[in-house]
Amino acid sequence: MTASDVLSLALGMPKAELHVHIEGTLEPELAFALARRNGVALPYADEAALKAAYAFDSLQSFLDLYYACADVLRTRDDFRDLMLAYLERAAADGVIHAEIFFDPQTHTARGIPFATVLDGLDDGLAEGARRWGISGRLILCFLRHLSEDECLATLAEAEPYLARIHGFGLDSSERGHPPSQFVRLFARCRELGKPVVAHAGEEGPPEYITEALDLLGARRIDHGVRAVDDPAVLTRLAEEGIPLTVCPLSNTRLCVFKEMREHSLPRLLAAGAKVTLNSDDPAYFGGYLNANIRAVHEAFHFDAATWYRLARNSFEASFASDAEKTAWIARLDTYFAAAR
């Protein structure tokens, strides 16, 4: 198989996406359309000026812009349109299942009711399932730059809607906000019977990964790419089969790694970690899942077996039912068998 055959194979694979922030899929064109529709002023003259601001030197420099742009999201239809736009692009990249983060506190803090956000996102999921057959679930993420008490209040607001929330996560500014600050919050999430995940080891140290596992009960680690800085943490992740939702373009755009060739992805795989590939905030970081696959292909030239493993991991690491996972993996196997 030539390198370009392997790339085509990887781009066309059926796969799951487990780490994407719906607010991070807000493309400049939609941001300005919603700004006009809602009479909201964005702090940029036009789409070109906004795109020119996508030059980040850290997670925080990105988050500042990401939260500012989210201000255009006001109505149930805005959230629906945002979700549909993501699902259309994801489906075009071969994504058949997505577990999608949303940050309700970004919206409720601006006076948007929790139900408006959730109803709109669910409208989009239902329409996406009809149009493209894509399966989607929501994971509510708490903002770690806020206090645990504020997050507990958000959880109380979410409780009437638990049937529509598939799991809970932790995101936003990592440095200085360790998982240990959210022990009560995540104990409550687990009591409610939901799986929990946490961003850890993106910019923060490997100890945050250990805290997320031991103190929060995280079932997946979002990013986790800094695990290579502590061999004991990396060995543990591999031995326990804890999935890492790695986002290569995000990590290079936010300067976690200077360039793709320096990314820890090959070291994580070599250590036996259960890695999945994801897009994080694709509107801001240069592309959706297949753009990440292209960038990884160019840097590392993985073989077909590695791409199969990454796609299979994405299904195995999902929070879907065993029956769904078995059906998706059978589809993946059929795809690879036909390509041989």
Is 81 a binding residue for ligand ADE by CB under 6 A? The answer is: no
Q: Compare residues 139 and 228 and give the one whose CB is closer to Zn ion.
A: 139
Is 24 a binding residue for ligand ADE by CB under 6 A? The answer is: yes
Is 263 a binding residue for ligand ADE by CB under 6 A? The answer is: no
Structure tokens at 234: 């990396």
Is 220 a binding residue for ligand ADE by CB under 6 A? The answer is: no
Q: What, of ligand ADE, Zn ion, none, does residue 186 touch, CB below 5 to 8 Å by kind? A: none
Long-range contacts at 6-11 (CB < 8 A, ≥ 24 apart): 6/297, 6/301, 6/302, 6/303, 6/304, 6/307, 7/293, 7/294, 7/297, 9/304, 9/307, 9/336, 9/339, 10/293, 10/297, 10/302, 10/304, 10/307, 11/93, 11/94, 11/290, 11/293, 11/294
Q: Output b/e per residue, 290-329; b: 16+ Cβ within 10 A.
A: bbbbebbbebbebebebbbbbbbbbbbbbbbeeebbeebe
Is 280 a binding residue for ligand ADE by CB under 6 A? The answer is: yes
Q: What, of Zn ion, ligand ADE, none, does residue 278 touch, CB below 5 to 8 Å by kind? A: none
Q: Compare residues 19 and 312 and give the one whose CB is closer to Zn ion.
A: 19
Q: Compare residues 279 and 314 and give the one whose CB is closer to ligand ADE.
A: 279
Is 171 a binding residue for ligand ADE by CB under 6 A? The answer is: yes
Q: What, of Zn ion, ligand ADE, none, does residue 59 touch, CB below 5 to 8 Å by kind? A: ligand ADE
**Window 141-160: residues binding ligand ADE (CB under 6 A):** none
Q: How far is the CB of 21 from ligand ADE (least distance, A)?
A: 4
Q: How far is the CB of 131 from ligand ADE (least distance, A)?
A: 26
Q: How far is the CB of 222 from ligand ADE (least distance, A)?
A: 7
Which of 238, 281, 283, 325 binds ligand ADE (CB under 6 A)? It is: 281
Contacts of 297 (CB under 8 A, 6+ apart): 3, 6, 7, 10
Contact 76, 120 (CB under 8 A): yes
Q: How far is the CB of 325 from ligand ADE (least distance, A)?
A: 26
Number of residues that bind ligand ADE (CB under 6 A): 11
Question: Closest residue (Cβ) to ligand ADE?
Answer: 171
Q: Residues 99, 202, 203, 211: which is the catalytic one?
A: 202
Q: Compare residues 172 and 276 and give the one whose CB is closer to ligand ADE.
A: 172
Which of 166, 194, 199, 253 binds ligand ADE (CB under 6 A)? It is: 199
Instruction: Report the interface residues with Zn ion, using CB under 5 A.
Output: 280
Is 206 a binding residue for ligand ADE by CB under 6 A? The answer is: no
Q: How far is the CB of 67 from ligand ADE (least distance, A)?
A: 9
Question: Closest residue (Cβ) to Zn ion?
Answer: 280
202 is catalytic: yes
Q: Compare residues 101 and 307 and give the one whose CB is closer to ligand ADE.
A: 101
Q: How far is the CB of 173 from Zn ion (least distance, A)?
A: 12
Q: How far is the CB of 199 from ligand ADE (least distance, A)?
A: 5
* Residues classed as catalytic: 202
Q: Which residues bind ligand ADE (CB under 6 A)?
A: 21, 24, 59, 66, 171-172, 199, 202, 250, 280-281
